């Protein structure tokens, strides 16, 4: 009979020697701290005392103070004993066994690698326990989502914080990559209208692009056109539909391509030509790499799981998510600004890790109404975004799809004076069938361009006005 418990688990891996060598180097030469401060955090240390020493030294060095066994002694637990020596004696021993500053970076990398291994073991143990004794409020899908989120965080911590490369090493490969991308048209996804590409540049993998518009402003229609167009060029595109069902999105895309009123398709009161056109689109779309994914209530973890699965099985190039306001925000105890920024940061990390372009649709708030009442413009501004202008920092490209026509239509009944009402009616008439692409941010180019495009409301589709308007036309200020 075996008298030993089968539940005894081996000790977790640690990096005690690497931690001691690094801390000693920092105490001897405080410049060693800056070799690792960009990626190494106190929590990455396996020994609690080492975590405290590193955090204390980092605080003092960041304040311009010297960190050594003498100056740090007052800030560490004086009554703690390590073996048969005090903390002060331990600090002195670290200095005598220190590596030189050149080895600090490598020891820091070793520490964070062992930290990641400990986290993986913890996740595996939690997964085993949850799978064996699943609580009533959990499900296999929720467990997978939670574990997937934790694994992504571990991967980001190791890759993004520790993946530093010297400028001289990185530059040649970066130039070579840019040269190859410049010659390879398949590496960049064009927009479906030339005016948009001129203002925003091509869509690039690894980028997070924000598309802001009013409710009913056409962002869903715009996105479906883009996905359908990209797929027609061979780029594998996915439309993650949270606001409308997958079937509604499919019908809208078919209406755009076939030039049939969506209302007529819904009612299916089609004439012979329209039925033939719809049949033609059904045949053309059979092998089209365009996927529509319907979501109910969803979180960032749900999107991550689906995106990762589709990239592995389909090899996606472009993902459009409709829209940010419909995604459950993480960290419910945090303030709203932090939660919304966490969402955009997560999407940005997802785009980079999967090497796909992600376009996130952003609902514009109603602040423009107050501006209009105060005599201001109804034109979209960055502060109108869901989450405020702070979302800009996480976006590689950010633009607004501006259709003033429905906005003026809403404002006309609110005008108190006939003169103001007549002015709004005139602006409404002039803006019918038009839209602007307003470039708020473009990481690879200059923002500020606002090309005009057309909009056919009957088919909920956008079109180019290049043949109808001289290139130098500037009438945006009137709207």
Question: In the predicted model, is pLDDT for residue 477 greater than 80?
Answer: no
Closest listed residue to residue 151, CA positions, set 111, 180, 186, 122 = 122
Using CA of residue 282, residue 284, residue 285, residue 286, what is the dihedral sign? Answer: positive
pLDDT at res. 161:
45
Query: pLDDT tens for residues 381-422?
Result: 888 888 777 788 889 999 999 999 999 999 999 888 898 899
Q: What's CA 279's distance to the chain center, in Å?
A: 37
Fold of 16-162: DNAb Helicase; Chain A (1.10.860)
Query: pLDDT tens for residues 249-305?
Result: 998 998 899 888 888 887 888 888 988 988 998 998 888 999 999 887 788 888 888
Instruction: Return the higher-pLDDT residue of 449 and 476.
Output: 449
Residues whose CB is less than 8 angstroms from the CB of residue 85 and which lie 6 or more positions away in sequence, other chains included: 93
Instruction: Return the higher-pLDDT residue of 342 and 7.
Output: 342
What integer is the mean pLDDT of 44-71? 90
- The two tokens of residue 204 are 């690039």
What integer is the mean pLDDT of 212-233? 93
What integer is the mean pLDDT of 372-377? 86
Superfamily of domain 188-478: P-loop containing nucleotide triphosphate hydrolases (3.40.50.300)
* 241 contacts 295 by C-beta, under 8 angstroms: yes
What integer is the mean pLDDT of 108-120? 90
Q: What is d(CA 61, CA 70) in angstroms, rounded to the nearest whole number?
A: 14
Residues 180-195 as b/e (b if ≥16 CB within 10 A, e otherwise) read: eeeeeeeebbbbbbeb
Q: Where are the domains of the chain?
A: 16-162, 188-478
pLDDT at res. 404:
93
- The two tokens of residue 22 are 């690094």
């Amino acid at each position: 009979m075996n008298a030993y418990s089968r539940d005894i688990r081996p000790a977790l891996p640690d990096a005690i020697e690497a931690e001691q060598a690094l801390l000693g180097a920092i105490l001897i030469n405080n410049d060693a701290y800056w070799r690792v401060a960009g990626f190494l955090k106190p929590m990455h240390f396996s020994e609690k005392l080492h975590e405290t020493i590193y955090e204390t030294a980092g605080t003092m060095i960041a304040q311009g103070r010297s960190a050594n066994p003498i100056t740090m002694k007052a800030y560490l637990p004086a009554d703690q004993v390590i073996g048969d020596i005090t903390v002060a004696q331990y600090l002195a021993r670290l200095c005598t066994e220190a590596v030189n500053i050149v080895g600090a970076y490598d020891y820091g990398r070793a520490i964070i690698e062992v930290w990641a291994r400990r986290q993986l073991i913890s996740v595996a143990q939690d997964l085993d326990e949850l799978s064996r004794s699943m609580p009533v409020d959990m499900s296999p899908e929720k467990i997978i989502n939670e574990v997937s989120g934790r694994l992504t965080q571990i991967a980001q911590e190791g890759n993004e914080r520790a993946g530093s490369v010297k400028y001289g090493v990185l530059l040649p490969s970066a130039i070579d990559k840019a040269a190859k991308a410049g010659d390879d048209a398949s590496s960049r996804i064009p927009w479906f209208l030339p005016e948009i590409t001129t203002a925003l540049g091509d869509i690039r993998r690894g980028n997070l692009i924000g598309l802001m518009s009013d409710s009913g402003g056409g962002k869903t229609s715009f996105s479906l056109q883009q996905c359908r167009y990209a797929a027609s060029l061979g780029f594998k595109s996915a439309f993650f539909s949270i606001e409308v069902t997958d079937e509604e999105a499919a019908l809208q895309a078919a209406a755009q391509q076939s030039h049939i009123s969506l209302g007529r398709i819904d009612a299916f009161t089609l004439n012979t030509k329209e039925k033939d056109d719809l049949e033609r689109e059904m045949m053309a779309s059979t092998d089209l790499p365009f996927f529509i994914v319907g979501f109910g209530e969803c979180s960032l973890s749900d999107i991550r799981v689906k995106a990762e699965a589709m990239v592995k099985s389909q090899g996606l190039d472009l993902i459009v998510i409709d829209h940010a306001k419909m995604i459950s925000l993480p960290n419910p105890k945090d303030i709203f600004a932090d939660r919304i920024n966490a969402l955009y940061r997560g999407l940005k990390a997802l785009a980079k890790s999967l090497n796909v372009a992600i376009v996130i649709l952003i609902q514009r708030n109603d602040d423009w109404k107050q501006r209009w009442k105060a005599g201001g413009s109804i034109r979209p501004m960055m502060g109108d975004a869901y989450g405020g202008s702070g979302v800009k920092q996480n976006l590689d490209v950010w633009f607004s799809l501006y259709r003033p026509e429905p906005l003026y239509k809403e404002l006309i009944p609110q005008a108190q004076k006939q003169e103001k009402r007549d002015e709004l009616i005139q602006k409404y008439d002039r803006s019918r069938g038009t839209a602007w692409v307003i470039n708020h941010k473009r990481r690879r180019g200059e923002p500020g361009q606002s090309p005009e495009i057309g909009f056919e409301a009957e088919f909920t589709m956008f079109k180019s006005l290049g043949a109808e308007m001289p290139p130098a036309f500037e009438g945006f200020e009137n709207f």
